[in-house]
Each structure stands twice: as structure tokens, then as C-alpha cells.
Amino acid sequence: MSDKARDLCKARVAGRISRREFGKRITALGIGAAAADGLLQASYTRAMAASFDWMKYKGTTVKLLLNKHPYADAMIADLDAFRALTGMDVKYDIFPEDVYFDKVTAALSSRSSQYDAFMTGAYQTWQYGPAGWLVDMNEYLHDAGKTAPDYDFEDMLPNLRASDSWSGVPGAPLGGTGAKQWAIPWGFELYSISYNRNIFDQLKITPPENLPDLIEKATKITKDAGGPYGVGVRGSRSWATIHPGFLSGYTNYGARDFTVADGKLKSAVDSAESKAFHELWVKMIQEAGPKNWATYTWYQVGQDLGAGASGMIYDADILGYFMNGAGNKEAGHIGYTPIAPNPEAKGPTSNIWIWSLALSNFSNAKDAAWYFIQWATSKQHDMFGARKKDLVDPVRASVWADKVFQDRIAGSYPGYLETYKATAPDAKIYFTPQPLFFNVTTEWAAALQRMVAKEVAVSEGLDQLAATINRELRDAGIG
Amino acid sequence: MREPITRILRGSALALILLFFLFPILWILLMSFQTNADILRIPPRLGFTPTLSNYVALLSGKLATSSGTLDITFLRNLGNSLLLSVASVAASLVLGVPAAYAFARYRFRLGESIAFTLLSFRFAPPLLVLLPLSLYFQILGLTDTYGGLIWVYQLITLPLILWIVRGYFEDASPDIEHAYRVDGHSWWRTFTRIAVPLARPGIAAAGLLAFIFAWNNFVFALVLASADKQPVTVGALAFVTAAGIQYGQIAAAIVLSILPTLALALYAQRWLVEGLSLGAVKG
């Protein structure tokens, strides 16, 4: 690298020149965009190293447990930068998602020191954290000797930071008083509509704006599109059926999962708002959902959209993103739109899923593992993943504001950024944190299946569900 | 006149039964030569342009997906399955056949209790024993070792071999062994020259069954070992990613993973049939 190019990179990293200015001047030096990007990345790494003793744990090896996910792929692709920065080595075990959390739970519950850090979701930390299996990251975040000065935790979207922290008191708000930071957000997803633009154009319909509108348009697709069904949503007997579009719409109708009074929880699934929403949701699936809805998980919902078998999905924005990629029949035909299911609502209220990194309490190299988590959730790596890989949605505000990332997404995924911007402000975890999360949501999914199969009327089914949940809460001493 | 009709009817019935049972395997075989786009075509078609890309991806270890190229370790998973299954069955045969002989021929204190305890390993749900086991494995340093896994696989293979082979030893008359002993041969020689050859069909059948059970196991390696020691049953799930399901590669993986069991079953067929018919005519 010439001295001039090096000086330019230094100036850009220090924020003395704009990205546009940097681009113009580096091009004038005869350096192509890809090479310039590489030089800049290396400068960022050097800048990080200069401001903090990243080499403190040189020679240490950190072992990770990862889920097979594009976010993990993005991180693996950038591991050499971490090795160069810290002199540490990283080993990882990567398992398919179907079995991933079984592996995590087995490793933690057996107090295994095999893994130092691992990927997790926020809901899982409600079990792992209070059980004493995780390290409270506040210990590190508030220690200037252990956290780099430019780490900038505040740059992470506030709702994400809060969603990964909880006091462990059932019903206490996420990120509230006494909350422990059980995990650090790394990449996330929110819930909106991804639709097949060809089908919508063919039927001359516009993207849905609310749930009644969605039902009408989805029913039209099922009737008139010549094969594809209207809308794909998850339906298997699992918590994963409840947390995406379903809970986002449920919240938008003003319904909550629990009411909390005097530290005791009471199910609120039998409320009037809940019943109104369930009636519509059940009708939507009956009239315009997939035939085998009760078996549908993330995979089937996405696959149908990618293969042109469904007109739209109400699921993760990143699922629509992946289905727009090469290898799918409908690649390049997927559009994105925000949705506020309740016509009376001010805007969308999306629930979220956050892939986060957590530190095992049984690790023998906690401080070194924190260095890894710190790097993996840093601006530099978040930027790398967002610009060059599929780390969408990134967790940092500065990365969302990055022009290179925005241009990349706007060019290949039209409508994605706009959908994100409209959905993000009120996107957060809308579940009430409590230790019976998986039991309650599985019961909920089972009840939903019975309602869709017309084995029980919606109102009656919800009354029964509320009674079941309340009994479980009482048995656990929290209801 | 009736005979040809009966033959035709019987042939048709057999063809139907074969078609019924083999159709899923045939469909998977066809899928393994199709791209994901062909497999997911609506409506499904029988006509397609065959491709070897799925097998190439498995053998080369590189899987192209919509979100980039992924490294896959299917061949390593296949090797792990072979190692774990063969070693586990071998260990179970070495331990189980003499034990089966002892249980069949001798009455000793707590004999039945011990035999039943060994059988009870088959009753216990694996998840129930896995967490305590993983704690012990950490203490013993067996976590994430092939040796530890082969030991745990004995829970699957040893009771199966012991109880099946015991039945064969019990069915064979002890008189031949007595006669051989009267000729001055040792107990060990009698066991290896007379008893084991007589029970060979049963040993082959039990070995094959144990191999299939070991091959199909999923949860032991998942909990007790790292990703590099996982068998095909876990490895095949790698094609199910957040960015999509690679049906073609899954089908090719299934075809490759049933080949060793199929080859073994075909090879052992002679003894299997012999073993089964021996049991059938025994009166």
C-alpha cells in the first residue's frame, strides 16, 4: 500500500474525510473499489488495535458453539480479522438449527466447559440466565479495562439491547431495573410482509396494508392465481409459530400475553382484543393459508415463497431476503412491505428475534471469550457482515446508516429498507418474560391448530387455553 | 388353467407390494439427480434433466446456496458413522457373544438379573441417561472422543446382540458340545469350534440389526461430541439452513448413507435367511 493510500485510510477511519471524498481520492490513486475496501477494513482493524490492548490474550483459543445460519457464515468469513487483531485462535462447532438448541441446553445443563461462547436467542436466555448458566455481560460492558473505548454499546438499537437483558423476575420488563445483560445482540429479524411481485402484478393487487385487507387479497390469490395459495405463516405445534407475524399482529390489536399484578402473572389470551385478532388470524389460514399449515415452520413458509407456491408471507423480513437470492425460482421477484394489521393502529408493532452471543458461566476462558464477543458485535464486524455478507438485519444504528450497505440492499432488494424503516421504531420483544415461555407458547400453538381445524370455536378455545396457562403458572408458583 | 392366473395374480400382488414399499426410496433416488428447482416444481414432474451436482457437492464438500458457498462435511460424517457403527458392533460381538453363551449354558447367581439389567438399557429413553452421562464423561475425560462414543453405543448394540444370540445358543443342543468336551477339548475350544459356528446365522443377524440401530442413532453423538465427530444422521441436517432446504443434497446424502447398510444386508443375506429359517423350523 502506498503512503498516500495509507494516509487516506487513516483519515477516513479517524472521520476526517467523508466516505465520498475517500472514494474519489482513492480512485484517483488508481485503486479499485474492492481493493480500497480491503485497505479500509485493515485500517479499521489497526485502529481498533491501537486504542485497546487487543493482544492481551494472545495465544488463547476460544471455542464457540454456532448455529448453521448466514449470520454465522458471515462471522466465520471474517475470523481472520479477529485472529490478526488479537493473536487468539477461534475454534467452532457448527450444528444445524433443528438440533442446535438441544446441543446448547445439553452443554449448559451438564455444566460443560467445552464451549466458551455460543449463539442464542433472547427467549432461551430466560431459561439459561436465571439458571446460572450465563455470565452477566454488564460485568464486562462497564469495565473500561475489558471493553474497548470505541465499542459503543449505545450504538446498538435500544430495543435490542433491552430485549437481551432481564432481571429474572417473572413479568418484570426487559431491560428494566436490575436487569442483567444475558447476551449481546448480533443480528436480528423483524416481521413484515414479503410478497411475490409477479403474482400481485398479475392479479393487479397492491400489497396489503392491514389484516382484513391481507385476508381479502390472500383469498383472491388462492382463488385466482392458478395454483399458489394466498399467505404463508407458520403453524407447527411449537413456540416458533407464535413469535413471528402472529404475535406482531396480536400486539397490534392491543392484546397482551399476560397481565401482571402483585408479582403474579395471569394469562390474557382470553381478552376481547385477543379473541378479535384470533378470529381474523384463524379465518386467514382457513381461507388463504397452506393446506398443510399445521406442519409449517420457517422452512416451509420460506420455501413456498421462493418456489412461487405462495403469494406472500407474514414472517421474518430476512426470510423474504433469503428467498430473493439465487437458487430460488422467484429470485428477484420478491417485494417487501410493512404491515400494521389493525386498521386502527398507528403503525406496525413487530415482535423480534435476535441472534445474540452469550458467554458460558462454565467457560475457563471467560475474559478471552468476551474479547471475541466484543469483536463479533463490534461496528467493524457488523459493517463487514452487512456490506459483504448476509448479516441483515444488523444490530447497529451506524451500520443501518451506512451508504454502501443501503445501496447494496436498495439495488437488489427493493422495498426492504423502507419496510425496515417503517417497522423498526416499535419493533421489540412483546412477550412477557417468564420461565414457562416455551410451555405456554407451545400450548398456544396447539390451541391455534384446534381452532383452525374447527375442533373448537375461537372464543371457547381461548378460554380453555387461558385456564390451562393459569394452572401451569400456579403450579410454578408465579400465577 | 388356474395355475397361470394364480401366478399372474401373485406376480401383480408382489409388484404392487414392492412398488408400495420401494416407492419412497425410488423417489429419493430420483430426487438425488434433480436440482432444487426441479424438485420444488409445481406440479411435480417425472421428466427432468438429470444432474450429478448434488453428489458433486457432497463429495467436494462445497455447497452453493442462495447466501453463498457453504462448507459441508458429509463425507466426514459418513466416515464417522462407519467408524462408530463398525467399532461398536465389533466391541459388542466380542463382549456379547461369550456373555450370551454364558447366560444360555450356565445357571449362576444373579444371572437372570444381570441379563435383564443389560436388556433394560434398551428401555431407558436416551435423553434420560445422556445428561448424567455427559457429566461422567467430563470427569473421565471421555467427552468428545470416539472411544467414549463407542462405549455409549454399547447401550444400543450390546443388549441386542446378547439377547438374540442367547436365543440361538439356547436353541442349539448342548449334546454336541458335551461330546466334543468328552474328546478332551477345552471349554474355549468347544466354544469357538462348536458353539459359535452353530450360532453363526444368529450372530450375523444380530450383528446386522445392531449395525442398523447404531447407524441410525442420532442423539448420543449430538450431545456427547463435537461437530467433527457427528454421524450422517446429524450431518444430513446441515442441508436444512435458514436460507433454504437443499432437497437434492439431502436425497443424495440419503442414497449414500444407506449404501453401507444395504451392502452389508446383501452380503449377510445368506446367513440372515439361514438364521431366520433355522428359527422357523425349530420344533
Instruction: Report d(CA B50, CA A18) in Å as an integer.
Output: 53
Question: Chain-centre distance of CA A323, in angstroms?
Answer: 16
Q: Residue B142 contacts by C-beta under 8 Å, 6 or more apart in sequence? A: B136, B148, B151
A468 and A331, same structural domain? yes
Please report which confidence band the pLDDT of residue B67 belongs to, taking 50, 70 and 90 as the band edges.
low
For residues A300 and A395, membership in a common domain is answered with: no
Shared-domain flag, residues A152 and A72 = yes
* Residue B45 Cα, gap to closest chain A Cα (Å): 15
CA distance B88 to chain A (A): 23
Residues B160 and B208 in one domain: yes
Note the pLDDT tens digit of each residue in A168-184: 999 999 999 899 999 99
Shared domain for B41 and B127, answered yes or no, is no
Return d(Cα B26, Cα B33) in angstroms, integer. Answer: 11
Residues A306 and A454 in one domain: yes
Fill in the amino acid letter for B184. G
Residue B40 with chain A: CB contacts under 8 Å = 303, 306-307, 309, 329
Q: Classify burial at B277, counting beta carbons within 10 Å of its beta carbon; exposed 0-12, middle 13-18, buried 19 or more.
A: exposed
Q: How far is A394 from chain B (nearest CA, A)?
A: 16
Tell me, yes or no, whether B122 and B31 share the same domain: no
Backbone torsions φ then ψ of A141, nearest 5 degrees: -60, -30
The pLDDT confidence band at residue B283, using thresholds 50, 70 and 90, is very low
Q: Are A307 and B68 an interchain contact pair (Cβ–Cβ within 8 Å)? A: no
- CA–CA gap between residue A22 and residue A421 (Å, rounded): 27
Q: Which residues of B fall within a CB distance of 8 Å from A308?
A: 42
Same domain, B44 and B183: no
A106, A298, A331: residue with CB nearest B134: A106
Identify the CA nearest to A183 among candidates A420, A391, A321, A356: A356
DSSP category for residue A265: E
> Quick check: A68 and B66 CB within 8 A?
no
Q: What are the tens digits of pLDDT across the range A87-143?
A: 999 999 988 887 899 899 999 998 999 999 999 999 999 999 999 999 999 999 999
Task: Give the gap in angstroms from C-alpha A2 to the nearest C-alpha of chain B.
Answer: 33
- Tell me the pairing of strands B62-65 and B68-71: antiparallel
Asked whether residue B169 falls in the same domain as residue B112, the answer is yes
pLDDT digits (tens, 9 = 90+) for A53-76: 999 999 999 999 999 888 998 999
Q: Using CB atoms, which residue from A94, A111, A327 is nearest to B65?
A: A327
pLDDT tens figures, A282-298:
999 999 999 999 999 99
Q: Which of A68, A110, A390 sits opposite B135 (nearest CB)?
A: A110
- Cα separation, A39 vs A46, whole angstroms: 11
Quick one: A79 and A134 in the same domain?
Answer: yes
Q: Single out the residue in A13, A32, A49 at which a domain terminates.
A: A49
Kindly report the backbone phi and psi dihedral angles of residue A315, in degrees, each rounded to the nearest multiple of 5, phi listed first.
Answer: -155, -160
- pLDDT category at A49 given cuts 50, 70, 90 is low
Q: Are residues B9 and B134 in the same domain?
A: no
- 8 A C-beta contact, residue A87 and residue A59: yes
Q: Dihedral of CA B168/B171/B174/B179: which sign?
A: negative
In the prediction, which pLDDT does A5 show?
Answer: 75
> Of B34, B53, B71, which one is at a domain's C-terminal end?
B71
pTM as predicted? 0.84
Residues of B in contact with A102 (CB under 8 A): 222-223
Residues B98 and B62 in one domain: no
Q: Is the peptide bond before A393 cis (omega within 30 degrees of 0)?
A: yes
Give me chain B's average pLDDT, please. 86
CB contact under 8 A, A298 and B134: no
Closest by Cβ to B223, choosing from A68, A103, A327: A103
How many C-alpha atoms does B79 have within 13 Å on its Cβ side? 9
Mark whether B87 and B206 lie in a shared domain: yes
Query: Distance between CA atoms of A201 and B180, rounded to whole angstroms?
Result: 88
A251-269 pLDDT, tens digit each = 999 999 999 998 899 999 9
Contact indicator for A273, A261 with CB cutoff of 8 Å: no
Looking at residue B29, its pLDDT comes to 93
Across the interface, whether the CB atoms of B243 and A106 are under 8 A apart is answered no
pLDDT of A192 over the 90 cut: yes
Check CB contact under 8 Å for A69 and B227: no
Question: Quick one: A33 and A162 in the same domain?
Answer: no
Question: What is the pLDDT of chain A when averaged over all its residues?
Answer: 93
C-alpha cell at A445: 400453538
Please indicate whether, in this complex, the C-beta atoms of B144 and A97 are within 8 angstroms of each other.
Answer: no
Most confident of A347-361, B25-39, B138-152: A347-361
> Which string of b and e fits B193-229 if b means at least 16 CB within 10 Å?
ebbbebbebbbbbbbbbbbbbbbebbbbbbbbbbbeb
Own/partner pairs, A444-449, CB within 8 angstroms, 24+ separation:
A444/A241, A444/A242, A444/A269, A444/A469, A445/A235, A445/A236, A445/A237, A445/A238, A445/A239, A445/A241, A445/A242, A446/A237, A448/A235, A448/A241, A448/A242, A448/A246, A448/A278, A448/A281, A448/A282, A449/A235, A449/A237, A449/A294
In chain B, which residue's Cα lies nearest the Cα of A68? B241
The SS3 of residue A344 is coil
A388 and A263 in a single domain? The answer is no
Residues B16 and B104 in one domain: no
Q: What is the pLDDT of residue A99?
A: 85
Which of A33, A49, A65 is the last residue in one of the domains? A49
Q: What percent of chain A has pLDDT over 70?
A: 97
Instruction: Enter the C-alpha cell of residue A456.
Output: 373448537
Instruction: Check whether A40 has a pLDDT greater than 80.
Output: no
Classify strands A229-232 and A310-316 as parallel, antiparallel or unpaired. parallel
Reported confidence tier of residue B189, pLDDT bands at 50, 70, 90: very high
pLDDT in tens, B34-57: 988 888 887 777 788 899 999 998
| Residues in A touching B37 (Cβ below 8 Å) | 307, 327, 329
Same-domain pairing of B162 and B254: yes
Same domain, A230 and A262: yes
User: What whole-number percentage of chain A has pLDDT above 90?
Assistant: 83
B246 lies in the same domain as B133:
yes
Q: Residue B235 is part of a domain; what is its CATH number?
A: 1.10.3720.10
| Phi, psi dihedrals of residue A335, rounded to the nearest 5° | -110, 165
Sorted by sequence, the CB contacts under 8 Å of residue B237 that are 6+ apart come out as: A96, A98, A99
Please tell me the total count of domains within chain B. 2
Cβ distance B135 to A326 less than 8 Å, yes or no, reads: no
Whether the pLDDT of residue A223 is over 90: the answer is yes
**CA-based nearest residue in chain A for residue B132:** A110
A-interface mutation test, from B34, B38, B39, B40, most A Cβ less than 10 A away: B40
What SS3 class is residue B147? helix
Helix and strand numbers, DSSP H then E, in chain B: 13, 4
Which whole number is the average pLDDT over A227-244? 96
Residue B281: pLDDT above 60? no
Q: Do B42 and A70 touch (CB under 8 A)?
A: no
CATH number of the structural domain spanning residue A456? 3.40.190.10
Q: What residues of chain A lie within 8 A of the CB of B70, using their CB?
A: 68, 73
The reply to whether A147 and A222 lie within a common domain is no
- pLDDT of A435 over the 80 cut: yes
Percent of chain B exceeding pLDDT 70 equals: 92
pLDDT at B64: 66
Joined together, the cell numbers standing for residue A255 give: 392484546
Q: Is A295 left (phi over 0), alpha (psi -120 to 50) or beta?
A: alpha
Q: Are strands B68-71 and B240-241 parallel, antiparallel or unpaired?
A: unpaired
Question: Is A160:A186 a contact under the CB 8 Å cutoff?
Answer: no
* Degrees to nearest 5, angle at CA A444 with A438 and A448: 145
- Pick the residue with more confidence: A19 or A389? A389
User: What 3 state SS string does B47-92 have?
Assistant: CCCCCCHHHHHHHHCEEEECCEEEECCHHHHHHHHHHHHHHHHHHH
Quick check: A227 pLDDT over 50? Answer: yes
Nearest CA in chain A to B245: A299
Closest residue to B68, CB basis, from A73, A227, A329:
A73
| Biggest CA-to-CA distance, chain B | 75
**Residue pair A92/A76 in contact by the 8 Å Cβ criterion:** yes
> Does residue A444 surpass a pLDDT of 90?
yes
Instruction: Name the residue facing B42 among A70, A227, A390 (closest C-beta).
Output: A227
In terms of DSSP bridges, do strands A61-67 and A117-120 run parallel, antiparallel, or are they unpaired?
Answer: parallel
Band (A397; pLDDT cuts 50, 70, 90): very high
Q: For residue A323, list chain B residues with Cβ-Cβ distance below 8 A.
A: 66, 244
Predicted local confidence at residue A14, as pLDDT? 65
In terms of domains, do A450 and A309 share one?
A: yes
Same domain membership, residue A42 and residue A13: yes
Residues of A with CB below 8 A from B66's CB?
A: 322-323, 325-328, 331
DSSP state for residue B140 in the 8-state scheme: H
Q: Chains A and B: how many Cβ contacts under 8 Å?
A: 106
User: In A, what residues contact B, Cβ < 8 A?
Assistant: 68-70, 73, 93-99, 102-103, 106, 109-114, 227-228, 298-299, 302-303, 306-309, 318-319, 322-323, 325-329, 331, 389-390
Statement to judge: residues B62 and B100 lie in one domain: no
Residue after which a domain boundary falls, among B47, B71, B95? B71
The domain total for chain A is 3
Q: Which of B66, B228, B240 sits opposite A322 (nearest CB)?
A: B66
Best of B38, B63, B66, B250 to substitute, by most chain A Cβ atoms within 10 angstroms, is B66
Which of A75, A99, A353, A413 is the best mutation test for B, with the most CBs of B within 10 A? A99
Whole-angstrom distance, CA of residue A127 vs CA of residue A29: 55
| A339 contacts A193 by C-beta, under 8 angstroms | yes
pLDDT attached to residue B276: 56
A contact test, residue of B129, B133, B223, B239 with most A CBs within 10 A: B223
Residue A74 structural domain: 50-187+354-421
pLDDT of B2 reads 62
Categorise residue B61: left if φ over 0, alpha if ψ from -120 to 50, beta otherwise: left
User: A-chain residues within 8 Å CB-CB of B241?
Assistant: 68-70, 96-97
CB contact at 8 A, A268 and A326: no
- The CA distances from residue A223 to A226, A229, A282, A399, B29, in Å, are 7, 8, 18, 42, 35
Do A93 and B244 lie within an 8 Å CB cutoff?
no
Q: How many Cβ atoms sit within 10 Å of the Cβ of residue B273? A: 12
Hey, of A65, A66, A112, A333, which one would you mutate to test binding to chain B, going by the most B CBs within 10 A of its CB? A112
Cis bond leading into B43, ω under 30°? yes
| Domain match, A210 and A331 both | yes
Chain B residue at shortest CA distance from A63: B226
Examine the fold and report which residue of B50, B71, B92 is the final residue of a domain before the chain moves on: B71
Residue B54 belongs to what domain range? 2-71
Round to the nearest angstrom and report the end-to-end CA distance of chain A: 65
